[in-house]
Structure 1
Amino acid sequence: MSLLRLFCDFDGRIGLRAFWAGSIAVAVAMFAVQRVAPALLDRSNAQFVIAFANAFALFPLAALAAKRAVDRGGSSLFGILLVCAIVLPEQARPLLSIGWRPSLEAIVTIAWVVALIDLGLMPSARSDAPALAAAPAGAKAAE
């Protein structure tokens, strides 16, 4: 599977090795942006670049999670919702009163645990499992 399909396509399936390799690649890229941007830019521009990179990283993470969820026998929407449950509460934190913050942290923690166990540790569904439907006519060919 090409890198473009790995990070930008929501169709298909990926195994544990590709999921972890892609997730680590996105994490390393995000870490590099967070370290390099302040060294090269002034404070306000560096914050803008980091915020843009964080928002941009949602897409490849959601694509990885969607493909892994399908490989596990579920819906791609499950993987996308897990990524949203992990990332989006942090973005809503400044908009909510302080009483909601523990609830947001609980949501993020639960989503992390579910994602780690279901997407990151559980084996792939068997290829003959009935949960995986046959590809419709005209669908992309598996690589």
Structure 2
Amino acid sequence: MKLQKILFSFDGRIGRRTYWLAILALIVAVLVLTFAPFLLESEKAAVLMLALTSQFIWLLSLWPILAVGSKRLHDRNKNGWWLLVFWLLPFALFVGGFSIALFDDPRTGRSGDFSTGLIPVLASLPPALWGIVELGILPGTKGPNLYGADPAQQLELR
């Protein structure tokens, strides 16, 4: 499968090896692009560039990350919408719990409550771990499924 299809198409299936290589490459690319402004001579310019570009870079990487995850779920014979459970739910719980723990409530004037914020942070772990197992550890379905041919069999034919 071509790199363009791996990163930008939501069709087809990919195996565990391709999934991990693509995710690792995306993470490295995002980190390099995010912190590249620090190579500038001026520290103030670097901080300004980092502030302006980091969210944009992460936003641009969202499509390939979702495409790769979706194809991996297809290999498991699951719909790509499961990414909401594996990635969005843990992220929302973690950020919500973190904000409860650290920030003051403007409505009540109460300061951050670490113990209350810890509950959603801990609740984010099971779906995140389940996603890691489902996407990166368990093998795909053998043979063709609803989403296409078995990527392992396609490698054997070459």
Q: Give the alignment's TM-score, normalised by structure 2.
A: 0.69
| Cα deviation code 1:9-54 (max 9, x no counterpart) | 1111000111011001001112212321233343122122111111
**5+ long unaligned stretches in structure 2:** 106-111, 149-153
Q: Which residue of 2 aligns with 1:112?
A: 128
Query: Post-superposition shift, 1:78?
Result: 0.9
- Which aligned pairs between 1:59-78 and structure 2 lie closer than 5 A? 59-78=63-82
Q: Deviations over 1:82-111 (max 9, x none)?
A: 232354556666598545643442354233
What is the percent sequence identity of the aligned residues?
A: 19
Runs of 4+ in structure 1 deviating by more than 2 angstroms, as ranges, are 37-42, 79-112, 132-135
Find the residue that maps to 2:132 and give its secondary structure.
helix
Higher alpha-carbon deviation: 54-63 or 76-85: 76-85
Higher mean Cα deviation, 81-90 or 25-34? 81-90
Unaligned runs of 5+ in 1: 136-141
Distance 2:57 2:95 in 1: 14
1:32 aligns with: 32
Rounded Cα–Cα distance in structure 2 between residues aligned with 1:70 and 1:56? 23
Change (3 A) 1:64 1:81: farther
Tell me the residue number matched to 2:19. Answer: 19
Q: Give the paired residue count.
A: 133
Instruction: Give the letter for the 1:52 counterpart.
Output: F
Structure 1 vs Structure 2 CA RMSD: 2.8
2:86 aligns to what?
A: 82
Larger radius of gyration: 2
